[in-house]
Structure 1
Amino acid sequence: MNTLPSSPAEFNAFQKGSLPGFLGVEIDRIDATGVHARLAIEPHHHAPNGYLHAATVVMLADTCCGYGCIARLPEGAKGFTTIELKSNHLGTATSGVISCVATPAHLGRNTHVWDATVSGPDGKVIALFRCTQMVLWPR
């Protein structure tokens, strides 16, 4: 892809063949306020104990924050890479659809910081997530 995606449809097409697409992330909205996405829980999202695998939750949150970063890159930047992430898991789910909302906390020239909240099918928060991304510039 020569140009970076900007709409939900473009992000959903962009991720085909990669982890978010393979695991079923669906971007619902992306705008100046942030990114909204969802994921229908399937058996392959579970840990062996039968609960939602923490990595599934982190993948959803990190994807939303990353797509938000792409959508808000400074002019002339060529991309980004995650340099730190943290998640606090407060609950779980075993079925249904989980959702994520990612919002920018800092949009600098060289770094972005994004926060995400992941909610279970009942709307209760199951995870809080924060990541820092380094903006990449052409050499």
Structure 2
Amino acid sequence: MANIPGNLPGIRQDLVDQWLPNRMGIEITEWQPDRVVGTMPVAGNLQPYGLLHGGANATLAETLGSTAAALNAPDGKVAMGLELSCTHHRAALSGHVTGVATPIHTGRSTSTFEIVITDEAGKRTCTARLTCILRDTPPGS
């Protein structure tokens, strides 16, 4: 089950077991405002040709980038994905992939992160860029 940093505002603990990254085997292994790292198994996240599904890369990238955005959000704000782009460089066929999200811009209303995904040999399989909008924390969160 994926780890979720406990200090993120707006996280509904009653929905954590339904969180998509849990179903995909994503595990966040490191979270700091300037670097969020996570892994995902290739098995179970394939497309019909036996390759890691591009949508799985996108889910890993958005999970890590959104977590980084939340860690960088000003007090009273929550991060929500606004735009995600992914370039798939090479196929991953087995094992795990690792994603690392680093900030490009952290502001008062938006944040943008680069997410680099590599295979177990350290070869880049995907480069993603995520921009999040920062909104007021919902009342009662």
Could you say which TM-score interval applies, normalised by the shorter chain? 0.7 to 0.9
Helix, strand or coil at the partner of 1:69: helix
Q: Give the TM-score of the pair, scaled to structure 2.
A: 0.84
Equivalent residues of 1:110, 1:135 under 8 A apart: yes
Amino acid at match of 2:17: K
Aligned to 1:52: 52
Which residue identity does 1:18 align to in structure 2?
W
Count of residues paired in the alignment: 130
Alignment of 1:16-55 (within 5 A): 16-42=17-43, 44-55=44-55
Does residue 115 of structure 2 align to residue 119 of structure 1? no
- Distance in structure 1 (CA, Å) of the matches to 2:94 and 2:27: 16
CA-to-aligned-CA distance 1:110-132 (integer Å, 9 cap, x gap) = 00001100001111000100011
Partner Cα separation in structure 1 for residue 133 and residue 53 of structure 2: 27
Could you tell me how far apart the structure 1 residues matched to 2:129 and 2:16 are? Answer: 21
RMSD: 2.2
User: Partner amino acid for 2:56?
Assistant: T
Deviation of the 1:15 alpha carbon: 4.2
In structure 2, how many angstroms separate the alpha carbons of the residues matched to 1:69 and 1:138? 14
Q: Which amino acid in structure 1 is aligned with residue 94 of structure 2?
A: S
Could you list the per-position Cα deviations for residues 17-72 of structure 1 after superposition, in whole angstroms to 9, with x for gaps in the alignment? 21101111111101132101101221x21101111110011111110001111111
Runs ≥4 residues deviating over 3 A: none
How far has the Cα of 1:138 moved from its partner? 5.0
Q: Which runs of 5+ in 1 are unaligned?
A: none
Amino acid corresponding to residue 135 of structure 1 in structure 2: L
Q: Distance in 2 between matches of 1:104 and 1:90?
A: 21
- Residues 50-97 of structure 1, C-alpha deviations (whole Å, 9 max, x = no match): 1111001111111000111111110121x1221111111100111101
Secondary structure class of the residue paired with 2:66: helix
| Identical positions, percent | 26
